[in-house]
Amino acid sequence: MILPTLTFPFPRRFAGVLSLLCLMLVAACATPDAASRDFFDPHEAENRRMHEFNRGFDRSLLRPVAHAYAAAVPDDIETVIIRFAENLSLPADVVNNVLQLNMRAAFRDTARFVVNTTVGLGGFFDPASEMGMAAPSNTDFGHTLHVWGAREGAYIELPLIGPSTARDTFGMFVDLFTNPLTYVIDSPENLAGTAAGVASGLSRRDKFSDTIDQILYESADSYALSRSIFLQNRRFKLGGTGGDTYTDPYDGAGGAPASALVEDPYDE
């Protein structure tokens, strides 16, 4: 399951809650590190029930809406909307890169945001890529927690969102507050970013339709396959796999099952 990450203008008074959440996260993740084994899934029964709910939601609503959206909206317009949503997410990437002390990526994302917001007319166009600038870092607070040493924690299947971990679930909540644009853009203007995020998510669902359908509806155990693809891809993205025995499911020479040799639809 994939849905766009929505950004809402939460009040600043919630900022104090974030420190408490981070402390809770350190304690909550003081469990066997999932990088040392295939997975840590102590809540599998509950996760499987949530997975079935998510499959039903996808089958009855998300998939048909995504197909209808893609059929109704020209490809060029979809691309423009995706660019706009990606550009609005860059300030949050900058914040997380600073928290990770990755200043090179922070400066690159800042430069990309400035160029695409000005020359690119708010991000509807992507002159930064045409100028050869580095691709966006696409980081998040879950990545930041990883850099800080927080463990992955238990695997979790979230309602509507899908695969996650204890660390990334806390990170998603904090990411609602990390984008500076939520504090400078008032309502209803800020709804444009939310709408673009929803539209971008629908585009991704349609783009990866064959892959997602294969995982959710054609595999013998869609829950286990979703868990495997998500965890392996997430660990690979974070740069640590817990040993040389890790097999990248996206390397065709790695001996992975054919069903895993696909683009990860859970990767934002």
Which tens digit of pLDDT belongs to each residue from 9-68? Answer: 333 333 333 433 443 444 444 444 434 457 899 999 999 999 999 999 999 999 999 999
Decide: 123 and 87 in contact? Cβ < 8 Å. Answer: yes
- The DSSP output letter for 155 is E
CA–CA dist 117, 94 (Å, integer): 15
pLDDT number for residue 194: 87
Structural element, H or E, at residue 165: strand 162-165
Q: Which amino acid is at 197?
A: G
DSSP string over 185-253: S-TTTTHHHHHHHHHHHHHHHHHTHHHHHIIIIISS-HHHHHHHHHHHHHHHHHT--SSTT---TT-TT
> Which CA distances in Å does 253 have to 109, 151, 201, 247, 249?
33, 30, 31, 10, 9
Report CA 113 to chain centroid distance, whole Å: 19
pTM recorded for the entire structure: 0.76
Q: pLDDT tens for residues 242-266?
A: 433 333 333 333 333 333 334 455 4
Domain range summary for the chain, segments of one domain joined by + = 12-260
- 4 in Cβ contact with 197 (< 8 Å): yes
Rounded to whole angstroms, the Cα distance separating 150 from 29 reads 7
The phi and psi torsions of 163 (rounded to 5 degrees) equal: -60, 140
* Distance separating alpha carbons of residues 244 and 233, to the nearest angstrom: 15
SS3 of the chain: helix, strand, coil, percent, to 5: 60, 5, 35
Question: pLDDT tens digit string along 57-110?
Answer: 999 999 999 999 999 999 999 999 999 999 999 999 999 999 999 999 999 999
| Residue found by looking up tokens 């400066």 in the block | 107
Query: What CA–CA distance (Å, rounded) separates 54 from 130?
Result: 38
CA 17 to chain centre: 22
H or E segment at 157? strand 155-158
Count Cβ atoms below 10 Å from residue 214 Cβ, excluding itself.
17
Cα gap 101→234, rounded to integer Å: 20
109-118, 196-205, 252-261: which has the minimum mean pLDDT?
Answer: 252-261
For the chain, give the mean pLDDT.
Answer: 81
Please tell me the predicted confidence (pLDDT) of residue 8: 33
- What is the pLDDT, as a whole number, of residue 183? 86
